[in-house]
Structure 1
Amino acid sequence: MKDIQKQLITYLLKQNKPVSASEVAHQLKISVRTVKTYIKNTNLLSDREVILSSNKGYLIDKTEARNLLLEQSSIPQFYSERAIYIIKKILVEHQEPDIFDLCNQLYISYSTLKNDLGKMNTTFKKFNLRFATQHDRIHIIGAEKDKRSLLSSVIFEETSSKIVDIKTLGELFNADYVAKISKIIRSFFLDGDYFINDFAFMNLVLHFAILIDRVTKGNYLDSSITGTDYFADETEDAELITRVSSTIEQEFNIRLSVNERSAIYTLFKTNVNYRVKNDYRKLASVVGEGIMLTTNRIIMEIAELYSIDLNNDNFIVPFVLHIKSLITRASLNKANKNPLLDNIKKDCPFIYDMAIFISLRLSEIYKIQISEDEIAFIAIHIGTEIDRQKANTDKLKCILLCPTYLEIEKKIYNYLSITFSENITIDRIVTTYDQIPDYPFDLLITVMDNPQNTLYPYLCISPLQLEHQTREIYNKIHEIQDRKKRRLVFDNFENYFSPSLFYIEEDITREEVIDKLCGEMERLGVVTSHFKRTVFERELASSTSFGNTAIPHSVHMNALQTSIGVVISRKGIVWGSNTVNFVLLIAINKLDKQRFLSIYNAILSLFDNEEFIEMLKKAATFQEFENLVFSYL
């Protein structure tokens, strides 16, 4: 069974009513024809029909589907699955599998297995390891530290669709000693002066589990390892690691070499932070004046470039500590995996862009390479602070109209203010229509059904049983918010889009698309000659494709005029690991950045609409494109 078939079955298992082929195609990013082919092939895998078809769409037999998944999942079907299976056999189960037994277990030929081993030597070349056979048994040849790196990478790869947790590691290793490891880490690193977040905690549990498992079987790190200098450290950190190492030796009845202790010290330095409140002197002593100065400089650059003020203690203290750990990891060519990476890239592209800008600056200053996973952690810090600030700036300004009687207006005010605190502010309470202020506001909330309500955006509610009206109030709030976004697009569409930057293209590459749009923008005087280089620089840092849409751009908002170039390709353009049908190349002038972000989010939301996407593929002119955008907003 192919991966896409598993995704198809998993998606249909979540549905409680028939789903159309086009909806399935949109969710899985494949064509309708491909959906029908995979449904047919899936039904051939079982004696009974697994996916039922009707004029309403497709509905899955959940019992049959689960049985089919269980049956298929037990045997690796593809090269990537077989590679992980073989690596785990050797590094987790500590076997040297016989090649003929392995062929029987995997239901493959000898030539297929030999071909897989050849591919594995290419796939995992970066780990400086080699897969070889000797006396008909498979071995991994290379340094112990590289074998451990390979194993941790494989575990993260295998669990890429979920977060690694204690249960997952307990199934992979011995559950009892995973629980012991967890207890040791909590007792040493979650008390006193130290702090560790959930992602780093699981990273430590995983690497401690690998270390202890390998040492238990007599596999020790050799003396050639490099890392942070445990022996030169005379601080409390080194003393702490000595105590941690002694506890591990006692709990697991093993002996840790000096190199194993140094490895534990490196794990500590790259995952554990200090508890520092708003004490900048202590913070500087922990991370160093250099990192403090660099962080402050980057915060100023973010403010200049994006108009986002990150200069407050709530952001700076945890962020500086994170940057310290990040630099340590990157300097050792290590990176923590981030299970939220794909979601952050897709759902928060501008926040991810800010994180990329920061990563590029850090790479430039400290001569390090920062992975996409680490960039996503930076984005989490930025996004958390932006959400905190937006709590007030994005709220609808409301007027409450309610007569004074038994203090009912206070009851309504309190209910609205608490229940909808993230969405609205009650700017004023009035008792009559002539008290309604003449300054702009977004919504009149009233308990009186009166023709004068129609002079304003309004919502009429009952003063009683307010909790029963929660959904209605939420719907009205979202309606007003969406209307404001649409108004922004209607008012500014012609400023940002133009027929001169609209193309229908087939048989074109990513590089050719960027070159074409940037060249035309430069010819129109929208950007300077340096713009194209910065677009490719951003693309190199992390692909800008999301599903069937790509949004190439520069991290520098220095366009002479804000513009969006559009390319539609029915055939599709290979863009990183995706094939996209739509390209929106964005050039932003810093004076437009705040307004443009709202417009961008409104337009981008259209690309979650399956019907809009299918209609847009058929657009042949700029006018058709404009009409479609307006009709679906």
Structure 2
Amino acid sequence: MTRERQDRILAHLARASDWVTASELADALGVTPRSVRTYLARLRTRAGADELVVSGPSGYRLDDDAYARFRRLERVVGTTETPRERSTRIIRDLLAESDGVDVFTLAERLHVSDSTIEADLAKIRPVVSAVDLQIVRAGSVVSISGAERDRRRLISRLFRDETAQARIDLDAVERAFASDSLSAFKTALLAELESRAYYVNDYGTDNVLLHIAIAVDRVAHDKRVPDDERPTRSEDFHGEEFPALLDGLVREHFGVALGRGDAEYLGYLLSTRAVAPGAPAEEQPDGGDDGRRRYLADEELARVRRITERAGAEYSVDLDDDDFNTRLALHVHNLLERASDRSFSRNPLTRSIKTSYPMIYELAVFIARELRDLSGVEIDDDEIAYIAMHVGAHLQQEARREDLEPVVLVCPNYYDLHRVLRARILATVGDAVTIEHVVTRSDVPWSALGVDLVLSTIEPPVPDESVLVVGPFFGDADAERVRRAVTRVRRGRRRSAIAQELLEYFSPALFVRNGYAGDEEAMIRQLGDLMIADGAIDDDYLVGVVERERMSSTAFTDSLAVPHAMAMSAKRTAIAIAVNEHSMPWGEARVNVVALIAFSADGRARFQPVFDQIVEVFSGREDVQRIIKGSVDFPSFIDELVHTMDA
């Protein structure tokens, strides 16, 4: 636990852009500041960590160069110094020895007492049983019993749990399995998949490569997947060529011959985790998707279309697109295949999608709930994030010209300089701005230009934050400044447009200072009771909030949870909020602010901007700390909120 908390401190400091106090770190971990100082002292004893964390009057921060060196060192140095690492070593030893391992031998190998090994065995039993394996005891000899496929699933789980950010590190896989051919194998595999017109999910591919490394290691030690453990595939399964393809590549790159059971299992993993069929160019004369549809049953595609139609109506977005629905249906097909094998895919982008694109994630949660209700399959956060990637990519492609920021260009006439500058701006930042008008005179009617952002080669007579002075030849630095200015203008416009509306949803009766509860559902009930008493919702709405929370945690940032129901059935739109000095656990996070949002049917159009605004306001660490410290009562909370939105 101590090592784990050291790593959590490092993760928190890595996300911070400035000094972090001991109190803030303590709150993030749910411990005391004294404990934080103890963890930091122990952290400095780890290899390469003596200069990692810089301390000062303002708190702590990471030394970036030292952190980079530390991460590189941790990747190449393996230890068994922590209880978690020792448990992993025990499991690996048991999996490697078919006849089991003597407890006393394990204790001697790991330089610990017999009683420590016995305690470790008790801790790992649930980990092993979670993948349908069992720890078997015969006197002092301990072994693991169960199917070979489940053994490999356990090895894969152990390895992923040791990696950061849910991402498979191929260099680490190569080191763990004493192989230097995995990268070349991946290159060859991707080339083969591209030649067969498959869409590739690179995150899923790396997950399959981990299983391939495990398979090569196990087969080399004569531990094969027997034929009776071959996966059961649906009738419309795609990728029949994968077993032979993988067998050939494994022979070429690793010198190992896979058996039929291994080849079919790895082919199954590749088809359900890493690829989706595309349509060869000759099959798409009109940009159609018949090449992909042939892998889908008509009902599969119809089911996804019904779901996206309901999602589009509920959230007022356009999801009526054949290509989008076909791709999503292929993904859902693979998702359900994975579910039948109890092997959901991890997604390293889950956290960033949830924090940066809360409404897209929310759309994905709605789609996941509909799929769950129809199929009976529970869908986890990582799989929801993959659905969000489909939704987000579609909505990005559907962005219209009006999404570009209109600007006026001021460039006094000098030959054709204004034309050259205009072309350069559009070539560089044309995905962010559209030039409405070019002013080529030096006597500029600054107050009558009619836009929120002006790009000008000359200074205005009076400083104006809406005027950004750019160079006449528009270099890379100018382009970066324009993008930052567009972000600032849009953020200010968005905030000013809904700030007053957002404030109208709060009331003294729905504000709680330091209102703690035992868990998420108790906190939801505490805030929900206030809303019920205030006439905003009824008990049925609160049931919907709890159901949504069970689908996926609503902790959208490091400090904020936004519980809500997916059905907009509140009697009126309102927000009940708890602002707490000390954090409480929420899912896998800890939060200081809980905002229970209730929307009525007539508030559907306002849901997205208000939801996004709440998440945005509480996404900045400094802003959150100021709101938490300053909100001693409802009036001061409103003051701090207004200050943050106006900043």
Mark yes or no: TM-score above 0.5: yes
Task: Indicate if the aligned counterparts of 1:228 and 1:265 stay in contact, CA closer than 8 A.
Answer: no
Does the alignment pair 1:185 with 2:189? yes
Quote the offset at 1:18 in angstroms.
Answer: 7.1
Give, in whole Å, the separation in 2 of the partners of 1:557 and 1:225: 46
Give, in whole Å, the separation in 1 of the partners of 2:318 and 2:470: 38
Match of 2:3 in 1: 2
Give, in whole Å, the separation in 2 of the partners of 1:134 and 1:183: 46
Choose which of 422, 436, 441 in structure 1 pairs with 2:431: 422
Does the alignment pair 1:511 with 2:526? no
Task: Indicate if the aligned counterparts of 2:549 and 2:563 stay in contact, CA closer than 8 A.
Answer: yes
Does the alignment pair 1:578 with 2:589? yes
Choose which of 178, 194, 211 in structure 1 pairs with 2:215: 211
Count matched residues. 630
Match of 1:625 in 2: 637
**Which segment drifts farther, 507-516 or 46-55?**
46-55
Q: Any gaps of 5 or more consecutive residues in structure 2?
A: none
Give, in whole Å, the separation in 1 of the partners of 2:85 and 2:403: 47
**Which segment drifts farther, 241-250 or 42-51?**
42-51
Choose which of 141, 146, 168 in structure 2 pairs with 1:142: 146
Give, in whole Å, the separation in 1 of the partners of 2:567 and 2:295: 32
Match of 2:562 in 1: 551
The one-character-per-residue Cα deviations of 1:385-441 (angstroms, maximum 9, x if unpaired) are 233344744432212233433122212222322332233221222446788897953
The one-character-per-residue Cα deviations of 1:134-176 (angstroms, maximum 9, x if unpaired) are 4644421222121111111112111143521432221122314
Task: Indicate if the aligned counterparts of 2:247 and 2:257 stay in contact, CA closer than 8 A.
Answer: no
Q: Cα 1:581–1:305, aligned 2, differ >3 Å: closer, same or farther? A: same
Task: Indicate if the aligned counterparts of 2:559 and 2:619 stay in contact, CA closer than 8 A.
Answer: no
**Which segment drifts farther, 242-251 or 550-559?**
242-251
Task: Indicate if the aligned counterparts of 1:75 and 1:106 stay in contact, CA closer than 8 A.
Answer: no
Match of 2:37 in 1: 36
Q: TM-score by structure 1 length?
A: 0.86
**Which segment drifts farther, 521-530 or 348-357?**
521-530
Give, in whole Å, the separation in 1 of the partners of 2:469 and 2:497: 26
Task: Indicate if the aligned counterparts of 1:399 and 1:430 stay in contact, CA closer than 8 A.
Answer: yes
Give, in whole Å, the separation in 2 of the partners of 1:9 and 1:243: 42
SS in 2 for 1:175: coil
Match of 1:273 in 2: 276
Give, in whole Å, the separation in 2 of the partners of 1:369 and 1:360: 8
SS in 1 for 2:159: helix
Task: Indicate if the aligned counterparts of 2:246 and 2:263 stay in contact, CA closer than 8 A.
Answer: no
Choose which of 114, 131, 134 in structure 1 pairs with 2:135: 131
**Which segment drifts farther, 115-124 or 259-268?**
259-268
Task: Indicate if the aligned counterparts of 2:358 and 2:612 stay in contact, CA closer than 8 A.
Answer: no
The one-character-per-residue Cα deviations of 1:29-81 (angstroms, maximum 9, x if unpaired) are 86644433333444577999756644354477887995998699743344322
Q: Cα 1:127–1:346, aligned 2, differ >3 Å: closer, same or farther? A: same
Q: Cα 1:180–1:452, aligned 2, differ >3 Å: closer, same or farther? A: closer
SS in 2 for 1:2: helix
SS in 1 for 2:599: strand
Q: Cα 1:420–1:569, aligned 2, differ >3 Å: closer, same or farther? A: same
Amino acid in the other structure paired with 1:519 = D
Give, in whole Å, the separation in 2 of the partners of 1:68 and 1:321: 38
Q: Cα 1:552–1:429, aligned 2, differ >3 Å: closer, same or farther? A: same
Does the alignment pair 1:259 with 2:281? no
Identity of aligned residues (%): 25
**Which segment drifts farther, 463-472 or 367-376?**
463-472
Q: Cα 1:48–1:437, aligned 2, differ >3 Å: closer, same or farther? A: closer
The one-character-per-residue Cα deviations of 1:346-387 (angstroms, maximum 9, x if unpaired) are 333222221111111112222323232211111111122233
Quote the offset at 1:304 in angstroms.
Answer: 0.4
Amino acid in the other structure paired with 1:37 = T
Alignment of 1:111-122 (within 5 A): 111-122=115-126
Match of 2:392 in 1: 383
Match of 2:371 in 1: 362
Q: Cα 1:36–1:539, aligned 2, differ >3 Å: closer, same or farther? A: same
Give, in whole Å, the separation in 1 of the partners of 2:46 and 2:554: 37
SS in 2 for 1:566: strand
Quote the offset at 1:566 in angstroms.
Answer: 0.1
Alignment of 1:229-268 (within 5 A): 229=233, 237-238=239-240, 241-242=243-244, 244-245=246-247, 248=250, 256-268=258-270
Alignment of 1:462-477 (within 5 A): 462-463=471-472, 467=476, 469-477=478-486
Quote the offset at 1:598 in angstroms.
Answer: 3.5
Match of 2:543 in 1: 533
SS in 2 for 1:579: strand
Match of 1:75 in 2: 79
Alignment of 1:388-537 (within 5 A): 388-390=397-399, 392-431=401-440, 441-451=451-461, 457-463=466-472, 467=476, 469-509=478-518, 510-537=520-547
**Which segment drifts farther, 39-48 or 444-453?**
39-48
Amino acid in the other structure paired with 1:564 = I
Q: Cα 1:141–1:595, aligned 2, differ >3 Å: closer, same or farther? A: same
SS in 1 for 2:497: helix
Task: Indicate if the aligned counterparts of 1:550 and 1:575 stay in contact, CA closer than 8 A.
Answer: yes
**Which segment drifts farther, 434-443 or 315-324?**
434-443
Q: Any gaps of 5 or more consecutive residues in structure 1?
A: none
Match of 1:154 in 2: 158
SS in 1 for 2:451: coil
Match of 2:333 in 1: 324
RMSD: 3.9
Give, in whole Å, the separation in 2 of the partners of 1:330 and 1:434: 64
Match of 1:227 in 2: 231
Does the alignment pair 1:564 with 2:575? yes
Quote the offset at 1:335 in angstroms.
Answer: 1.4
Give, in whole Å, the separation in 2 of the partners of 1:449 and 1:575: 51
Q: Cα 1:616–1:250, aligned 2, differ >3 Å: closer, same or farther? A: closer
Amino acid in the other structure paired with 1:583 = V
